[in-house]
Amino acid sequence: MNYKEKTRENYRIRLNKLLDEMPDFCRTYFIGRENRLSEVTAYSYANNLHAFFDYLHGNNSYFGDRDIRNYTLDDLAILSTEDIEEFLHWMRYHEADGIVCRNSQSTLEHYISAISGLYSYYIKRRHLTYNPVDAIDRARKTKKKIVRLENDEKDRFLDAAQYGTGLSPRQQMFHEKNSTRDYAILTLFLDTGMRVSELAGINVSDLSFEKHAVSIIRKGGNQQYVYFSDRTEQILRDYLKERHLYHPLDDEDALFLNKAGKRLSVRSIQIMVKKYATSALPDKTDKITPHKLRSTFATDMLRATGDIKLVSEQLGHSNLNTTTIYAEHDEERRMDVRNLLQ
């Protein structure tokens, strides 16, 4: 079983554990949607629904006297829009065991989608007739400004990884061993726009220098070649010459390794990106994540080619509309064309 299969299997196990604590109609729902939902998405939805039923059990007198596993679709049918809104209000801000819990509007939207999806599924199958979520006054979506690195910021960011520029004395102690690996990771991010989970899942055997590409498993499980530049190829070759220094086990095929010789985790990569952002771009520390490196690639690629379909394919988007967020012209671009028609 390879890394991608292990990850999906892990989420399947976690999903089933959650479903064991939830009403039977939830298991039926997820079985019915398993062709449409990835394991990660299904687990996320189940987590949200689990929190919803926990809330009903603890805060709604009708549901409080029974085990959550014994709730039925008839119980679901009696919930009103106001009941859902009270749950969302509670999720926005509440205290639990002395700990203050806050959730943003974007997080609340995920709960709304999970609950609405459950109702919609059973309405289509004529087990329910009404979706109380439909009447909720949803927050108006606002366009988020794309956070990206400009060329000089990219240079400083990569210099931090390659040369340790701006790192603390303690960080410098570990930098010499990891600089080639970290530089290869950040360069690959900026040169391909792949997701952090996709990068973490790369095996040595996925690399093809003949094709100048790496084979990755996209969100949704599709396999795709992602192409990299000659410069990135050389940086990857340099890292491969040092990969043995991490002492990988004989059967460890992961490309990027940690100090134990095992696959570098998604969380470790996220922390590493934050470390170099802190040292090189202190004014953007809180904003730079692997996803923002993906945004940087997307906007750079779109500026260079003007081909949104090509960019969409490179990012692995299943819907072209998802890519249009990167097509918003920034201030500099709009200034460049101010005299174009004169």
Which residues are identified as catalytic? 195, 219, 291, 294, 317, 326
Residue 275 contacts residue 267 (beta carbons within 8 Å): no
Long-range contacts of 226-235 (CB under 8 A, 24+ apart): 226/192, 226/194, 226/314, 227/192, 228/188, 228/191, 228/192, 229/191, 231/187, 231/191, 232/187, 232/188, 232/191, 232/192, 233/209, 235/183, 235/184, 235/187, 235/188
State how far the Cα of 327 lies from the Cα of 270, in Å rounded to an integer.
26
Reference 294, options 200, 219, 223, 190; nearest CA is 190
**Chain center to CA of 22:** 26
Tokens 């080639």 -> residue? 180
What six digits make up the tokens of 156?
Answer: 């400083």
State how far the Cα of 309 lies from the Cα of 324, in Å rounded to an integer.
10
